Amino acid sequence: MTLSVLIVNWNTRDLLRACLQSLRRHPPAEPMEVWVLDNASRDGSAEMVQEEFPEVHLIASDCNLGYAAGNNRLIQQARGEYLLLLNPDTEVTEGALDTAVRYMQEHPEVGGLGAKLIHPDGRVQRSVRSFPEPQAVLWEYLGLARLFPRSRRFGAYRMTWFTYDQIAEVDQPMGTFLMLSRRAVEDVGLMDEQFPIFFNEVDWCYRAKARGWKIVFHPEVVIIHHGGASTRQVRPQMIWESHRSLQKFYRKHYRQRLAKPIYWWIMASISLNAWLRTLGKGREGWQRERKA
């Protein structure tokens, strides 16, 4: 088996259906298997897969395992030489899987490959970031990234200067589409389940690069991404979960490397940013209700 497509789903039945249909329409030339782990959805997702896609390997969990643990279970079941972690709110385009598999086959030093994500209307999504190094986070929280979006220094974290038009070695492409080589997974290990939803792919890419694997963005691997279908269902909680995961990432990878004042300043800044974002989303919701 060349390619295993691994999808962790939670309450996104209709988008999952479109995703699986796109895999049917645009399969690679190489042998492919598709796995879906459903995290105890309440919208009939598992039943839909069972009835409409009998060729798909389905694991219907009776509890929500989270994204990292769900992917780990699928990785352990899959047989492919390449393992594609794919979100259910995506659709693959013609030739995308062939291009990705061929690139991985021709470049065995590449442990992970990310795609160009586009909105349904064709606009490119910003899906590549650097690792959250302290200085990059500092510029982000001081607002300098927004003031100088073309600056490689001030826009370092979100890579606001990146053009998405050429193959490039990067730190962390969005885990919406992340193709891994089995050799890299066997060397680096599985997803760290202390990051159940966010930063698990960032942590994996960080560990992979530390072991000498390359992570690459490929602009000719084009994926339609509807975006955040699962996390929108619990938006305030997800804001806090995202920031808590960033703090866990710092505890794991930076705590021993940074001076204590810098480390605790960053941890406090992350919490403050989460609070401000939650407050902002709350105000937006209140304003929408008032207008309605």
Out of 188, 207, 226, a domain closes at: 226
Encode pLDDT of 94-145 as tens digits: 999 999 999 999 999 999 999 999 999 999 999 999 999 998 988 888 888 8
For residues 218 and 154, membership in a common domain is answered with: no
**CATH number of the domain bearing residue 99:** 3.90.550.10
- Structural domains of the chain, count: 3
Give the chain's mean pLDDT. Answer: 92
For residues 243 and 214, membership in a common domain is answered with: no
Out of 209, 226, 243, a domain closes at: 226
Average pLDDT over residues 42-47: 97
For residues 97 and 114, membership in a common domain is answered with: yes
For residues 217 and 89, membership in a common domain is answered with: yes
> Angle 161-164-165 (CA atoms, 0-180°, nearest 5)?
120
Residue 261, SS3 per DSSP: helix
Residue 100, SS3 per DSSP: helix
For residues 185 and 151, membership in a common domain is answered with: no
For residues 184 and 152, membership in a common domain is answered with: no
The pLDDT of residue 229 is: 52
Residue 216, SS3 per DSSP: strand
Residue 161 Cα distances to 2, 133, 172, angstroms: 35, 17, 15
For residues 199 and 95, membership in a common domain is answered with: yes
Query: Which range of residues forms the domain containing residue 132?
Result: 127-161
